[in-house]
Amino acid sequence: MPASHQHFLEYAPAPESTAILNLKKDYGLFIDGEFVPGHGTPFATISPATEKHIAQIANANAADVDTAVAAARRAYEKTWSKLSGADRGKYLFRIARLVQERARELAVAESLDNGKPIKESRDVDIPLVAAWFFYYAGWADKLDYAGLGAAPRALGVAAQVIPWNFPLLMLAWKIAPALAAGNTVVLKPAETTPLSALLFAEILQQADLPAGVVNILTGAGDTGQALVQHPDVNKVAFTGSTAVGRAIAKSVAGTGKKLTLELGGKAANIVFDDAPIDQAVEGIVNGIFFNQGHVCCAGSRLLVQENIHEEVVDRLKQRLSTLRLGDPLDKNTDIGAINSREQLERIRELSDIGEAEGAERWTADCAIPENGFWFAPTIFDNVSTSSRIAREEIFGPVLSVLTFRTPAEAISKANNTPYGLSAGIWSDKGSKILAVADELKAGVIWANTFNRFDPSSPFGGYKESGYGREGGRHGLAAYLTNAPPDREAGATTLVPAERRAPQGRGRAK
Ligand code: NAP
Ligand code: MG
């Protein structure tokens, strides 16, 4: 649609109703199966689209962390490690079904608290949350066949810290494999997006999950720090920034705790001149403007072959001019709110630096609502490889465009980054896609698509993007061990009978 026609095609507002939500004014910590008061100073969670107060949230201090870890330890020893894999699986299936039953409510809560468009939380986040629990439910009684040795066993108590960009989905990525593998959990959601994790705690009560198997501690960075440093946790799983990941790696070093880190990214999305251009343009948009660009694996660096550079950038600008920015709860919204004032400041600062460094800035012409945190879709063209906006993660709706002439140049530019989480390749030629993919240093590579997730597919990075994999069979490895119990720091239980290698099968590798 030409931009000039837009005025004639106004959409009527189509807001999703919040009447389905049955929120409490105050939320406690979820410890040992109950909501209990926290001992830190409570804080408010707000809607980033309106800056309106949603609910008051308890803040866990070090003593609360201690209580929660003790509850998880008891649950591990007395209940969870005594259950058969099939029985653990039943709980996970039940959780998955409850997520589906309450899907609309969870989607509304997620969009309200995070600012992401309802069509994304409704069609992507929440369905994937259910899919993750269904997938790992299926593994719970098949761990001996996961290719991780004959009788792998759980690690014990897992401390999990997650970010604000996919609040409930990151929770699912952490909790589903941990429980399937037989661990118990203490999880801290991000300070700005605690709501869906608290609704999830209600789902755990509905599912009759034994008390203490999952504990949810709301709070800020210091709560996360106390949790990952707690001496009685056996496993630390973190998703967030590289800076915090590095600090956690240091604090965990030498303790015997197993660690996985899912950190930032600066993915190259490579478009060759033989690519189907319309499809590629949609893929570029999905790659960087999905979830306001608050995506660790976002295609934030467009590498486009020089001879189609102008055409691609023109079409991209046309397409961005049709995107609708505004109320996250409106079903027609494409671009929602930036999650926090702090994140908005970061995006503004790096964008200003990009401009100062000489890149050509273009911003979609859209009305910005008066309240809330917003950033219009932005493209930087003619970005040089050394520019900060080509190297640092902006974590917002900002695309940096660079060009290349040959596949070799595309590969070397794509790999010229401290990160290595994901990449995209657009071409009509399968052989070219495979040859280029082989050379890219990225954990996930999409071909003629972008930002696709599936619970059976491992996800994770190289270099400063972290280590370990989530998803698939590989995701189980992060929560299992083959070491004999006495050699594993903190591991206290023996292999339950049902998990010993069946007769006649080989022994552990
Ligand atoms: P962040 O500051 O690292 O926060 C992530 C989580 O860690 C939050 O729950 C945070 O609590 C907590 N935290 C902060 N300081 C901590 C500490 N010293 N010890 C333990 N926990 C601590 O990251 P962010 O800025 O909120 O999130 C954006 C970043 O996450 C981006 O860089 C993005 O690339 C990365 N990310 C990566 C992936 C992936 O899968 N690789 C996925 C999503 C996001 P508070 O929220 O209360 O500060
Ligand atoms: Mg919020």
Q: Mean pLDDT per 10-residue run, the chain (509 residues)? A: 56 94 98 98 98 98 98 98 98 98 98 98 98 98 94 97 98 98 98 98 98 98 98 98 96 96 97 97 98 98 98 98 97 98 98 97 95 98 96 98 98 97 98 98 97 96 94 96 66 42 37
Ligand 1 atom having least distance to the Cα of 219: 47
Neighbouring-strand partners of residue 262: 239, 466
Distance CA 228, CA 113 (A): 25
Tell me if residue 366 is catalytic.
Answer: no
Active-site option among 16, 110, 191, 262: 262
Residue 422 phi, psi (nearest 5): -150, 170
Task: Indicate the burial class of 406 (C-beta count within 10 angstroms; 0-12, 13-18, 19 or more).
Answer: exposed
Asked whether the beta carbons of 286 and 450 are under 8 A apart, the reply is yes
Nearest CA to ligand 1 atom 4: 240
| Per-residue model confidence (pLDDT) at position 412 | 98
> 369: which 2 tokens?
């609502």
> pTM of the full predicted structure?
0.94
Expressed in angstroms and rounded, the spacing between residue 344 Cα and the centre of ligand 2 is 14
Distance CA 14, CA 12 (A): 6
| Per-residue model confidence (pLDDT) at position 11 | 86
**Residue ranges of the alpha helices (H) in 79-122?**
85-101, 103-114, 118-120
Expressed in angstroms and rounded, the spacing between residue 257 Cα and the centre of ligand 1 is 20
Distance CA 478, CA 38 (A): 30
Distance CA 240, CA 236 (A): 13
* Nearest Cα residue to 175 out of 191, 194, 190, 188: 188
Within 13 Å of residue 93, how many CA atoms lie on the same side as its CB? 10
Nearest CA to ligand 1 atom 48: 221
Active-site option among 191, 296, 297, 464: 296
Question: If you count DSSP H runs as helices and E runs as strands, how many of each does the chain have, helices first?
Answer: 16, 20
- Whether 443 lines ligand 1, by a CB cut-off of 6 Å, is no
Helix (H) / strand (E) containing 215: strand 214-216
Helix (H) / strand (E) containing 280: helix 277-289
Ligand 1 atom having least distance to the Cα of 251: 19
Nearest CA to ligand 1 atom 47: 220
List Cβ<8 Å contacts ≥24 apart for 6-14.
Answer: 6/321, 6/322, 11/324, 11/332, 13/327, 13/330, 14/330, 14/331, 14/332
- Whether 426 lines ligand 1, by a CB cut-off of 6 Å, is no
Distance CA 440, CA 178 (A): 30
- Distance, C-alpha 142 to centroid of its chain: 26
| Per-residue model confidence (pLDDT) at position 150 | 87
Region of residue 321 (phi > 0: left; psi between -120 and 50: alpha; otherwise: beta): alpha
Tell me if residue 306 is catalytic.
Answer: no
List Cβ<8 Å contacts ≥24 apart for 196-201.
Answer: 196/106, 196/109, 196/110, 196/113, 196/167, 196/168, 196/171, 197/167, 197/168, 197/171, 198/27, 198/30, 198/57, 199/102, 199/105, 199/106, 199/109, 200/99, 200/106, 200/168, 200/171, 201/30, 201/35
CB neighbours of residue 249 within 10 Å: 17
Asked whether the beta carbons of 465 and 263 are under 8 A apart, the reply is yes
* Nearest Cα residue to 416 out of 242, 246, 268, 262: 268
